[in-house]
Structure 1
Amino acid sequence: MLLKKIAAATVFVWGLAALTGCNAAETAGKPEAKPAATSSSKPVAIVNGVAIPQSQYNLLKQDRIQQGQPDNAQTEAALRDSLINAQILAQQATKMGLDKDPTMQTRLDLVKTEMLAKAYLANYVKNHPISEAELKAQYDKVKAQMGTKEYEVSHILVGSEAEAKKIIAELNSKKAKFEDLAKKESKDSSAAKGGLIGWTAPSNLVKEFSDAMVQLKKGEYTKTPVHTQFGWHVIRVDNIRDLKIPPFNEVKDQLRGQMEQEMVKKEITDMRASAKVE
């Protein structure tokens, strides 16, 4: 639905939500792999004279476990096979000169840049932990913004005030049902459902829309058109109920992830501001 806000915190350069891979919500409760072995450890395998170091295996295992794979013999065997297969294919690619291909060189450079960016962000988040008090303060702030009620709401979105006034006149005269007018006239994707948006809290909607919505009682519609950045609306409240907000302990990990994303976004913005980009 056009009116739903898109949280800016989830928009990142290079898809940084994926790049960070470091927020506590993703890793909480998951087992950690054993520390990487030293270079003197026995290799995982030797393929055509080339040793696959134990450190590569340990790193791959750690990634897989954090992604939810079980830490068992089957997983270990699959990881070893994966590394052996990759080494065989890489050796063959080198024999064919594919490692000298300009596109491949560009890809390798890009991977290096992305991995270094990931390492920096992981280190930044690790060194700037969010305290329990900060999490609770943010929870209370969001809770206050959401209010105490949620609304089942429908609307008809048109391109002009005159069109909206015409629809209101038809509703006032009872010549047409709201749902039928929505299906016929509304420019929003909710038209197919008779204008139904569904249950939502006022904080999830643009201000002009939510301000008008909360003034309505159950079954009422706006008697004057409501203007937002999306166009002109006729709004109807179908139902109202108390808003049930999950307790702090149930959402604090998710909240920590969101706050870390905001923190990362600010760090990138600040670094961009001081960087010389030509």
Structure 2
Amino acid sequence: MPASLTRPAAALAVLLLAGPAAAQVQPVNPASDPVVARIDGNPIHLSEVEEAARGLPEQFRAMPPPMLYPLLIDQMISQRVLADAARKANLQNSPEVRARVRQAEEEALQQAFLAREITPLMTDEALRARYQRDIASQPAEAEVRARHILVQTETDARSAITALQGGADFAALARERSRGPGAAEGGDLGFFKKEEMPEAFAEAAFALQPGQVSPTPVRTQFGWHVIKVEERREQPRPSFEESEPELRRAVIEEAATQVVDRLRAAATVQRFNLDGSPMAAPPATPPAAPAPR
């Protein structure tokens, strides 16, 4: 994630990942918004329950409405009676509550502004264009399926290679001698990409063809390996549907960064030390020296 996204306002854009419905309250037709409870005469409408449901974690949203909604209504009743009691005690005017209300308002405004700026960019056409640029046009990723025998010393690894050259079965030898992952399965590591393994191991494995065994031991931080490649394949690129959540996240993060950077550049910002004294301006970056002719 870019460093600029650690700024609070930009980070709030991640809330848009649930889609526009979760970021903005939709207008409700009063005729289709029945009252589902009353507390001292004050109503709770179905739309309020539905809005609360949209804010729940996915595993709760998946519950059937006949099970979920009574639980939500009961929770909202408890929340309302507590809030009403606090108002009767005049707590809404306490400095602590007013500060928290201001903070909640600030966060709501930030989210609303980011939603207004970013939501128009989240079109199906824009996401598909990004998919073609960033994913579909990229070459397929190579993968190999390999076995290994992991031992503690180079001497032990060379002994294993000698045994294999003499006709020993690799899987059986791995079960007998290996101290590494998958030893019980004959050293089988399954399919993996180059970046998923230690560099020396990956370089050796991807240099082999199916059926070949590394001619010399390969050393990593885990010990000494003897490697046999079983299969090679190219992993197809994921479909648009599989990639859409990550594409949406990337668009949101980039757009949020641009929005926040634009607003910060247009604002007059003063910084102060913790004692209230003016903070010294950071030194200007010197211009780059001209390239020699």
TM range (shorter): 0.5 to 0.7
Tell me which amino acid in the other structure corresponds to 2:119.
K
Query: d(CA) in 1 for partners of 2:261 and 2:226?
Result: 42
How do 1:89-128 residues align onto structure 2 when only pairs under 5 Å count?
Answer: 89-91=82-84, 119=112, 122-123=115-116, 125-128=118-121
- TM-superposed CA distance for 1:240, in Å, is 0.2
Match of 1:20 in 2: 15
Counterpart secondary structure, 2:78:
helix
* Structure whose CA Rg is larger: 2
- Superposed CA RMSD in Å reads 5.0
Match of 1:80 in 2: 73
How do 1:38-187 residues align onto structure 2 when only pairs under 5 Å count?
Answer: 44-52=36-44, 55-63=47-55, 67-70=61-64, 76-91=69-84, 119=112, 122-123=115-116, 125-129=118-122, 130-142=126-138, 144-147=139-142, 150-155=143-148, 165-174=154-163, 177-183=173-179, 186=180
Query: d(CA) in 2 for partners of 1:127 and 1:86?
Result: 35
Contact map agreement 1:226 1:232 (CA 8 A) in 2: yes
Counterpart secondary structure, 1:57:
helix
Query: d(CA) in 2 for partners of 1:44 and 1:257?
Result: 35
Deviations 1:50-101 (A, max 9, x none): 443565234225556984455x666555543332233234445777899869
Query: d(CA) in 2 for partners of 1:91 and 1:195?
Result: 66
Deviations 1:163-209 (A, max 9, x none): 553342232343993344432xx5xx667766543222446546554
Query: d(CA) in 1 for partners of 2:86 and 2:184?
Result: 53
Query: d(CA) in 2 for partners of 1:211 and 1:96?
Result: 71
TM-score by length of 1: 0.58
Tell me which amino acid in the other structure corresponds to 2:80.
Q
Tell me the matched-pair count: 242
Deviations 1:119-161 (A, max 9, x none): 555555422233423213333244x1413xx322244678xxx
Tell me which amino acid in the other structure corresponds to 1:260.
R
Q: 1:137 to 1:95 in 2, by over 3 A?
A: same
Query: d(CA) in 2 for partners of 1:115 and 1:153?
Result: 52
Percent identity reads 17
- TM-superposed CA distance for 1:21, in Å, is 5.1
Match of 1:3 in 2: none
Query: d(CA) in 1 for partners of 2:185 and 2:261?
Result: 44
Query: d(CA) in 2 for partners of 1:181 and 1:214?
Result: 23
Tell me which amino acid in the other structure corresponds to 2:163.
K
Q: 1:238 to 1:211 in 2, by over 3 A?
A: closer
Query: d(CA) in 2 for partners of 1:192 and 1:115?
Result: 55
Counterpart secondary structure, 2:216:
coil
Query: d(CA) in 1 for partners of 2:16 and 2:254?
Result: 17
Counterpart secondary structure, 2:38:
strand
Q: 1:267 to 1:182 in 2, by over 3 A?
A: farther
TM-score by length of 2: 0.55
Query: d(CA) in 1 for partners of 2:223 and 2:117?
Result: 45
1:223 has 2:216 as partner: yes
Query: d(CA) in 2 for partners of 1:190 and 1:173?
Result: 22
Contact map agreement 1:121 1:264 (CA 8 A) in 2: no
Structure 1: which 5+ runs fail to align?
Answer: 1-7, 28-32
Query: d(CA) in 2 for partners of 1:241 and 1:178?
Result: 21
Query: d(CA) in 2 for partners of 1:178 and 1:50?
Result: 73
Match of 2:245 in 1: 257
Match of 1:36 in 2: 28
Match of 2:230 in 1: 239
Structure 2: which 5+ runs fail to align?
Answer: 165-171, 273-293
Of residues 167-176 and 89-98 in structure 1, the stretch that sits farther from structure 2 once superposed is 89-98
Query: d(CA) in 2 for partners of 1:116 and 1:96?
Result: 28
Query: d(CA) in 1 for partners of 2:234 and 2:250?
Result: 26
Match of 2:288 in 1: none
Q: 1:83 to 1:196 in 2, by over 3 A?
A: same
- TM-superposed CA distance for 1:260, in Å, is 2.4
